[in-house]
Amino acid sequence: MKKLIYLDYAATTPLAPEVKKAMEPFWSENFGNPSSIYQSGIKAKNALGQARQKIAKILGAGETEIIFTAGGTESANLAILGLSRAIQKTLKKPGHIITTKIEHPAVLNSVLALEEPACAGRESFNVTILPVDKYGLIAPEQIKKAVKPETILVSVMYANNEIGTIEPIAEIGKLLKKINQERKTKNLPKIYFHTDACQAAGYLDLNVEKLGVDLLTLNGSKIYGPKGSAILYVRAGTPLKPIIFGGGQEKGLRSGTENVPAYIGLAKALELAQKNRKKEFQRLEKLSQNLTERILKIIPKTFLNGHPEKRLPNNVNITILDIEGEALLLHLDQYGICASTGSACHSQTLQPSHVLQAIGLPREIIHGSLRLTLGRETTKKDIDYVLKILPPIVKKLRQLSPINLPFKND
């Protein structure tokens, strides 16, 4: 059989055996609705409460500050739309939101939707989308300069899903805390801070007090948990309106019968991810550095995207000039290698990656990017196999390509 080398862990991860085991009793044995008052429902409710407690402890949060949702996209939408709509009635003029050019579409499109009066409600919001440097980093000073009297929300992702760059979230949190202290004396609205931590959850510290965030999004499918499971951390006292209406579950912020097995699985997955994150960080960092260095050495006209040091340990995003990324993926797939050319959410479109555009790459070379993201099953043998298969494929594609771009690696 063809060897399978899965190197797209940033897109999704397989379900961990321990997670599956934790979920199994709640599929057909303890399947009750948590809102029911009979024993089956009570068991489900108690299990859901234990999962919430486990997640809250990991985040350094209170149990009531954890809201379960059906995915990272929904959590980000609830954070941005829910907060903005809750605050808008108290504002004398349109509110202001700050974010960055490299955010996940779940954040960017939510923010942009608030510019439209029909979506925002009474009136639209003003939006500032900040640029990043060539490594994908945002500087806290940029946030400070962008703040206006009517600013109500800042949303900056913890770590980028395409290029792996880790943002200075704790520094931004400290900055906003100081700004909010000054604004309080001037009777200006508080600026709330949201971060998308979906990619960071398996590798970085998630303590919300250390990060200084008011809202935090993470999901299960990126940490070997079940798809369709996620949470939104909401700091106590943060105003929020629901975007899904129904029976009033999750403190009235996310209606719908709770997916108990999924949330049990999410809690277990997060527990395992945080327990092993430091050891796994070191292991994957060593493997990814080896992979990066060898690709850049063996294959001419290549360079790394993202910050060389402040990056996720499992992310390798390489631009390979004079080839088409889609063709490269198809050839790699013939050898059992699963990879990506950019954000997995954009895999069905030929539009250039907005993240690679944001770090200054010209459109004509963006399509030659290759994202390899490593995970728990990745070994040194897998890396060796990729380095055996990749160079001849690139050579073949370049022979067929009419493109021959100049190369200067800064």
Distance from CA of residue 289 to its chain's centroid?
22
Checking phi first, is residue 26 left (phi over 0); if not, alpha (psi -120 to 50) or beta?
alpha
Handedness of CA 316, 318, 323, 324 (dihedral sign): positive
Cβ pair 110, 80 in contact under 8 A:
yes
Cβ pair 153, 84 in contact under 8 A:
yes
Which residues lie below 8 Å from residue 129, measured CB to CB, with a gap of 6+?
99, 100, 101, 108, 111
> Using CA atoms, how far apart are residues 371 and 391, in angstroms rounded to an integer?
15
> Using CA atoms, how far apart are residues 295 and 291, in angstroms rounded to an integer?
6
> Using CA atoms, how far apart are residues 247 and 18, in angstroms rounded to an integer?
32
The answer to whether 198 is a known catalytic residue is: no
Which residues lie below 8 Å from residue 176, measured CB to CB, with a gap of 6+?
143, 154, 191, 193, 212
Distance from CA of residue 24 to its chain's centroid?
27
Catalytic one among 119, 198, 338, 345? 345
302: three-class secondary structure by DSSP: strand
Residues paired with 151 in a beta bridge: 96
Enzyme catalytic residues: 345
